[in-house]
Amino acid sequence: MKKRRVVITGVGVISPNGIGKEEAFLAMVAGKSAVKRVDHFDVSIFKSQIAAEVRNFDPFQYGLSHEEVLRMDRYVQFAVVAADMALKDSGLKLSQEDPERIGVSLANAICGTKYMEEEFSFVTDNGKNPIDPSRVRPDLYDAAMFNTPSIEVASKYGFRGICNTLSTGCTAGTDSVGYAFEVIQDGKQDIMITGAAEAPVTPITFGAFDVINVLSARNDDPEAASRPFDNDRDGFVISEGAGILILEELNHALKRGAKIYCEVAGFGTSCNAFHMTDLPADGTAMADCIRLALNDAELNPEEIDYINAHGSSTRMNDVFETNAYKMVFGNYAYNIPISSLKSMIGHPLAAANAIELVISSMIFEKNLLPPTINQINRDPLCDLDYIPNHCREQKVNTILKTSSGFSGIHSSLILKRYI
């Protein structure tokens, strides 16, 4: 049976350099860095003391109640607000839809650490005493669950279809969208709310990444710290945010006259089975998942017009990724414009892919490719066209989004202009 076509009809984004799709997109193409020194907890004990935070987010401004704010960890707030943005953007009249045909598949790599750290401090008097069970808040369990964002979104709007959470680390945003794509293709749902949210800028998470030496220590120049594919890169910058997309079966979207951003054409995922944090330099595993996505989309490599890279700014990843592109595209790799949004917003873990997919879906209308900023001293091993420092005006018909994560998972998604 021929698979159904899937399109993106709504987007919502909370990014460190912009809240809402227009503000975020303008910041990306302007090359605006959001990396600053962390100032809401003591970072002096860490080698890395910087992050890209959403500094002007007021949950009350976006319609959350006092009760909701009290029970929701920050990452849940991001997910709920971004989902509301995306649903409004889609123009869906939910009262006219079958709630059993609408599903939710969201993602995160790390759950409510902010809420749990604050609660632990409260019930132990800053660690001085054993946990006092009588002081534990009854809604702590909700904050601790990985699937709280999906549940909150589904219950808020009464969606009774699929409701799940993917936690595949830093590929989870791409994986959740890929899963939603396949669910609609196969006729199990007509509409999926999908994407990811993260708020990991907390002491315990900061310490966990700092101790394995993956974070940039360029504390004296935060805005220049995230520098994918540059020879002076020294690690990624931890970040936060959310990206939510509304995926919809094509005929359903056309019937209601929806605005279509683009079509989701193909998805592929693979595992390198190599190491929890290290990468094999040859790029084979990422090359495999790119080929899977191309095959799924029924496209030749030469039909890709732009790549939105994982580009994390670590020594290993950026060489690994460059080699993967060369393996798949051969000499054509040198003709493809490629950029990493993490140069501006750092790495919000699972939410990175989701934010990047929101921005990528807007490129088909805007005809502007975001840059990779902080490319000053090009790594000779990363010698492709990484759109250095300034955006590029260019019409594209196909976009490849790549992502990688600790434990060796790699995922790719292909978007194409809807015609």
Give the active site residues.
170, 310, 347
Determine the Cα–Cα distance for residues 143 and 151; give it in Å rounded to an integer: 11
CB 156 within 8 A of CB 80: yes
Determine the Cα–Cα distance for residues 114 and 111; give it in Å rounded to an integer: 9
Determine the Cα–Cα distance for residues 35 and 54; give it in Å rounded to an integer: 10
- CB atoms under 10 Å from CB of 282, counted, come to 15
* Residue 401: strand pairing partners: 308, 413
CB 48 within 8 A of CB 206: yes
CB 300 within 8 A of CB 43: no
Main-chain phi, psi angles of 247, to 5 degrees: -100, 140
